[in-house]
Amino acid sequence: MTHHTPTAEQQAIIDAARDRSESILVRAYAGCAKSTTLEMLAHALPASPALALAFNKKIADELTKRFPPHFQIKTMNGLGHGAWSRAIGKRLILDDKKLGKLVSKVLTDSGFEASQDDWANIRALASRAMSLGLVPRPFTQRGLVEDSQETWRELSESLFGFYDATVDGGWAVPGEPYTNASDADGAKFEWWRARMLGGRTNHWGRISLRFGPHDFKGRSRDGLGDDWPIGYDDMKPYYDKLDELVGLFGTNEGLENEPDGIFLPPPAPRAYERLVKKASDKLNITCIPSRLSILTKAHNGRAACHYCGQCGRGCKTRSNFSSPSVLLPPALATNRLKIVTGAMAREVLTDDEGRATAVSYVDTATGKTEEVRAKIVVLAASACETARLLLNSKSARHPDGLANSSGTVGRYLTDTTGTSVQGHIPVLEGLPSYNDDGAGGMHVYMPWWLDNKKLDFPRGYHIEPWGGRDMPGYGFMSGIHKLNGGGYGKKLKDDYRRLYGSIVGFSGRGEMLPNKDCYCEIDPSVVDRYGIPVLRFHWKWSDGELNQARHMNETAARVIEAMGGKVVGKLPGKDKDYGLKLGGEIIHEAGTTRMGTSPRTSVVNEWCQAHDCKNLFVADSGPFVSNAHKNMTWTILALSMRTSEHIVEERRKGNL
């Protein structure tokens, strides 16, 4: 047998595999049996007991011939093809409920044992191995589970982090695990991290919504949660400045809690979006042009969008918003900014008086610990990473972590709720070919339109339609058998052409209320590869979020029917949490360093300044008191601008 010589990068991950685990789970599925890189990895691993999972007996037999003798080969025939396809696509290895249970049984039957930390390491290793081509990407084009609402588009969303140039980022970061206090259904939190300059601004959906007057004063309206110490009038000047600096399209509608802005003209609705608008009007559901930070006209030296539809891959013309393309260039032009990349922050250092003096970090290239000294420290690492930094920054003056005398760092963790429903719209079948790309996102959306006092959940949501004839990708129209009953050859190809563009989906995104069961803390026994203690998450949806998810799905079904269509599959029931995504999956976490007027119940004041450490500020979504259904980026940016101006003014006065 011919064995291929690994590249330098491949050899590095093979060496990491040797160091990291005595046994490794190697997965094989349809199309992988002939993978020389998979075989290469198998032969490179140490000759201790190892296990390979094959998609079926045929592949298992081939792997038995080609893999080293210390591998036990087990098949996955106990899980249906559709569920297997969904499982390997949705989470790298073990996070899917069905696959997790099956793998656990296979491992137990084979005499293997693995702790949760082992699985985190295996997931991280698999992520890095895939990025280097050592093992194939976790994706097939087989059908989905029969009762699943996920379409090829949603399945590709669940792979978010592996197709968008995050390098080592995503759901599993090599050598940087996190843990969950419970693996029970609905109790897990998923944490997506971008390990690159500009972070998540490189890949977000550019949905740029302002929080409204009601969003800042929720408790005053319904008695739930807490009010922000600031209101919309405090934020409006910064929203306006942000609109003018960055640019976004939309329309002024005069809606009470959907504040108007300074908009560029919106693109015209696509064909299916016109049907969505018509159906929404019929049902008295508000449907308006979306508000995305994508330029439809040249703005501040940046070109207008040319509608390639590939916003998630970076924008060479800088027509959409990301920090590296819009905010960093003018900052660098001042010659007052130095960017240090490859720096893993460990803790904020303080003096005897408890004031911040420096940030300690690990140089990821050399492994050495370095320091950056400063008179003022601003943390903007994202809500959970900032909480982790503060909790790891212990001293005599701050024994429970920096800025944590209230005990609220890491508490009040929230995420956006999310569900998706898809429908088949017959009138969209068999249309002639036409360009339906448009901007990289929806051209219309449905902001919250009802009164929660008449409903069984306390806060609202919005709906993001999707569909059309955009560029097909991996997994394109998987699940077609649900519409045509299956097929092969010319008939199947004709069905793809006929049905292309006839699927329209609706993703609901809603507000959750903070609760005592959702928080993050330092895991007492797990550290990352830099020796830094990691986060452990606790999570639980309330009945309010579950009822909200049910209402999202029912609304989507009503719109689909009003479009003359039919829901594909079944709406998920209560036994499946109405299809509600896991905590963290929408990647809108907030609230871990919330603002307030009292140092006893909050971490920072109305200027995002730490109560316990006057020269420490937080400029991400951690200070959020509530997490409205509106995507948070615009509020993070406006709030950070407000905080920055306050720091400058306090410096001028000599107070900092």
Please work out, in degrees rounded to the nearest 5, the angle formed at the alpha carbon of residue 324 by the alpha carbons of 239 and 603: 55
pLDDT in tens, 566-617: 999 899 999 999 999 999 999 999 999 999 999 999 999 999 999 999 999 9
**Most trustworthy range by pLDDT among 121-125, 134-138, 169-173, 524-528:** 524-528
Q: 25-39, 608-622, 632-646 — which is least confidently predicted?
A: 25-39
> What are the domain boundaries of the chain?
8-151, 269-291+419-510+542-579, 293-333, 334-413+589-632+641-653
DSSP state of 301: T
| pLDDT for 196 | 87
**Confidence class of residue 435 from pLDDT cuts 50, 70 and 90?**
confident
pLDDT in tens, 490-515: 999 999 999 999 999 999 999 999 99
| pLDDT for 75 | 62
User: What is the assigned CATH class of domain 8-151?
Assistant: alpha beta
Query: Token pair for residue 223?
Result: 């008695």
Q: 52-56, 273-277, 351-355, 458-462 — which is least confidently predicted?
A: 52-56
Cβ atoms of residues 604 and 621 within 8 Å: no
Give rounded-to-5 percent helix, strand, coil for the chain: 30, 15, 50
Stronger pLDDT, 627 or 150, i.e. the higher one: 627
- Is 269-291+419-510+542-579 a domain of CATH 2.60.40? no
| pLDDT for 63 | 67
How crowded is the C-beta side of 266, counted as CA atoms within 13 Å?
A: 21
Query: Cα dist. 206→30, 179, 202, 203 in Å?
Result: 36, 30, 10, 8
Q: 30-39, 142-151, 240-249, 571-580 — which is least confidently predicted?
A: 142-151
Q: Which amino acid is at 245?
A: L
Q: Which of 204, 74, 324 is nearest to 586 (CA)?
A: 204
**Helices marked H in 263-422 — which ranges?**
271-282, 328-333, 383-392
**Most trustworthy range by pLDDT among 79-83, 351-355, 387-391, 478-482:** 387-391
**Confidence class of residue 195 from pLDDT cuts 50, 70 and 90?**
confident
Report the residue count for the chain.
656
Q: What's the whole-number average pLDDT of the chain? A: 82
| pLDDT for 80 | 39
Residue 85 has pLDDT above 70, yes or no: no
| pLDDT for 183 | 82
Q: Do domains 8-151 and 334-413+589-632+641-653 have the same CATH topology?
A: no
| Average pLDDT score over residue span 3-11 | 53
Q: What are φ and ψ of residue 280, in 5° steps?
A: -65, -45
Stronger pLDDT, 289 or 21, i.e. the higher one: 289
Write down the CATH superfamily of domain 334-413+589-632+641-653.
FAD/NAD(P)-binding domain (3.50.50.60)
Q: 55-59, 399-403, 534-538, 630-634 — which is least confidently predicted?
A: 55-59
